[in-house]
């Protein structure tokens, strides 16, 4: 078998078979197929796409390129959740303890943030002492003991995905639905969960920009899950404005704790209830989604969900934050509106990039994060604003942030007339 024949076959818009896909994935991991040939193939796939069978074969080949996590020793149905990335997306910090408090087994391997999107591991590591490096045995034991563990992905998990993504990133072939779907699902399948709920973000602050593309990606991933005997549900949710009010690692931990205590923002609270209901129901804790949602609300009001977060932090060697003495920054700068009106739009991408430049995120993989800094929004879409009223607060350790004040101000667009609140959940694909 020759790589050039595979390239020409896909160039001419023919489907690749399982052996051909295994050949180029394994060859690239072993180093026997060079970057320039894989780049050429990725571009051919970008233009000609892949059918459902090809996408399943690609997912399987990437999945089998490294180790998989064996969760068979965990009692009961194992559940997991994955987000395609957004601004202020601290859903896992709320959803994990909330679902685990019902008795469901929440076993999650997470990643770090890059660019304008934040990573769950970075948020958890902003908690003093929190250990994200669990061995497989400790991971399984912890889920059996307290129903939840959140740890970092190992380098041996789907190594082909890391290689392929790095190449796609520099060759302009990232926005390919079969390549995105196989990338996400190979890691999720390798992580071993029985039930996976996907949160597919669309809008300015997300990778997917249109509802049609988000639906196609969601359907593809649900079909991949079915092909591997897993239950997959995809939520398509709005990311044209940040989720919640806080953007930045410690700031988001605080907001997550407030949400678990019943005092969080409405959009984050609603999203966690809806996604959590599917996880709890699929874990066979309840017979219906309605019963699952009622149970989750009780776990919040009784503080059992909040207590479960404390148990997670303690189990992974962290110190539960004192919310009155947790954020330490040199300056908090108010961004004030120059006119009165109603918030018509709030550009999540600009807010995310501004928070990154303040130090809350990484422009490059080796950048250091300042866990204390970030942005706390005071107004969101639909809110009424008076002239000179605060739109947002910038938490910073930088002396000159005049450019970021201007960026955040421009991220807001005001209207003279009332603006309805945005729909958060746009579709559910199962």
Q: Which domain holds residue 26?
A: 3-63
- Helix or strand run (H / E) with residue 412: strand 412-415
State how many domains the chain has. 3
Contact 102, 295 (CB under 8 A): yes
Q: What is the mean pLDDT of residues 383-409?
A: 95
Residue whose tokens read 């076993």: 107
β-strands 78-83, 105-110: how paired?
parallel
Residue whose tokens read 């479960």: 308
User: Roughly how many angstroms between the first and final C-alpha of the chain, as a whole number?
Assistant: 38
* Token representation of residue 63: 């999945």
CA–CA separation, 193 and 237 (whole Å) = 22
- Helix or strand run (H / E) with residue 183: helix 177-190
What per-residue confidence (pLDDT) applies to 340? 98
Residue 288: inside a domain: yes
Show which residues are catalytic: 82, 161, 168, 183, 187
Q: What is the mean pLDDT of residues 292-296?
A: 98
Q: What is the mean pLDDT of residues 392-421?
A: 95
Residue 366: inside a domain: yes
Reference 251, options 179, 355, 103; nearest CA is 355
402 and 369 co-located in one domain: yes
> Residues 158-195: pLDDT tens digits?
899 989 988 988 888 888 999 999 999 998 999 899 99
335 and 298 co-located in one domain: no
What per-residue confidence (pLDDT) applies to 195? 96
What per-residue confidence (pLDDT) applies to 113? 59
Reference 284, options 417, 194, 164; nearest CA is 194
What per-residue confidence (pLDDT) applies to 279? 97
218 and 287 co-located in one domain: yes
Residue 363 has pLDDT above 80, yes or no: no
What per-residue confidence (pLDDT) applies to 189? 93
Residue 365: inside a domain: yes
CATH number for 277: 3.40.1030.10
Name the pTM for this structure: 0.91
DSSP count for the chain of H helices, then E strands: 16, 13
34 and 91 co-located in one domain: no
Dihedral, 289, 206, 363, 375 alpha carbons, nearest 10: -70
Confidence of residue 362 (pLDDT cuts 50, 70, 90): confident
DSSP symbol at 117: B
> Residues 106-155: pLDDT tens digits?
999 887 655 566 689 999 999 999 999 999 899 999 999 999 999 987 77
108 and 47 co-located in one domain: no
What per-residue confidence (pLDDT) applies to 328? 94
Residue 244: inside a domain: yes
Residue 265: inside a domain: yes
CATH number for 390: 3.90.1170.30
Mean pLDDT of the chain: 94
277 and 368 co-located in one domain: no
* Token representation of residue 59: 């997912």
CA–CA separation, 62 and 42 (whole Å) = 14
What per-residue confidence (pLDDT) applies to 116? 60
310 and 336 co-located in one domain: no
What per-residue confidence (pLDDT) applies to 157? 84
230 and 273 co-located in one domain: yes
Q: What is the mean pLDDT of residues 292-297?
A: 98
> Residues 50-99: pLDDT tens digits?
999 999 999 999 999 988 888 999 999 999 999 988 899 999 999 999 99
Residue 421: inside a domain: no
- Helix or strand run (H / E) with residue 9: helix 3-11
């Amino acid at each position: 078998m020759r790589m050039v024949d595979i390239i020409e076959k896909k160039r001419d818009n023919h489907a690749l078979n399982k052996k051909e896909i295994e050949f180029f994935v394994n060859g690239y991991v072993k180093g026997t197929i060079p970057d320039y040939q894989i780049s050429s193939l990725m571009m051919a796939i970008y233009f000609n796409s892949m059918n459902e069978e090809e996408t399943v074969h690609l997912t399987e080949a990437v999945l089998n390129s490294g180790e998989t996590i064996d969760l068979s020793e965990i009692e009961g149905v194992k559940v997991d959740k994955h987000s395609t990335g957004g601004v202020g997306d601290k859903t896992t910090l709320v959803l994990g303890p909330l679902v685990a408090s019902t008795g469901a087994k929440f076993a999650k391997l997470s990643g770090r943030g890059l660019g304008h999107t934040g990573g769950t591991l970075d948020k958890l590591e902003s908690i003093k002492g929190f250990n994200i490096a669990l061995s497989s045995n400790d991971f399984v034991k912890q889920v059996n003991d307290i129903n939840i563990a959140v740890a970092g992905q190992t380098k041996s998990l789907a190594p082909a995905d890391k290689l392929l993504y790095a190449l796609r990133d520099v060759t302009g072939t990232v926005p390919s639905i079969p390549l995105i779907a196989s990338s996400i699902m190979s890691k999720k399948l390798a992580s071993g969960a029985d039930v996976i709920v996907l949160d597919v973000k669309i809008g300015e602050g997300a990778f997917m920009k249109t509802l049609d593309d988000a639906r196609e990606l969601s359907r593809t991933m649900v079909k991949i899950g079915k092909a591997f005997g897993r239950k997959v549900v995809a939520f398509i949710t709005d990311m044209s404005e940040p989720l919640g009010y806080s953007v930045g690692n410690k700031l988001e931990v605080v907001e997550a704790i407030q949400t678990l205590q019943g005092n969080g923002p409405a959009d984050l609270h609603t999203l966690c209830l809806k996604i959590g209901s599917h996880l709890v129901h699929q874990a066979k804790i309840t017979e219906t989604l309605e019963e699952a949602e009622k149970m989750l609300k009780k776990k919040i009001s009784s503080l059992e969900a909040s207590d479960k977060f404390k148990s997670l932090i303690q189990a992974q060697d962290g110190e539960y934050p004192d919310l009155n003495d947790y954020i330490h920054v040199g300056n908090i700068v108010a961004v004030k509106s120059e006119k009165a009106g109603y918030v018509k739009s709030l550009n999540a991408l600009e807010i995310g990039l501004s928070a990154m430049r303040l130090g809350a995120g990484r422009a490059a993989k080796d950048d250091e994060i300042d866990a204390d800094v970030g942005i706390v929004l005071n107004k969101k879409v639909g809110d009424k604003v008076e002239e000179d009223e605060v739109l947002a607060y910038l938490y910073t350790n930088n002396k000159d942030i005049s450019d970021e004040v201007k960026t955040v101000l421009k991220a807001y667009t005001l209207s003279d007339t009332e603006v309805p609140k945005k729909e958060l959940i746009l579709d559910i694909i199962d």
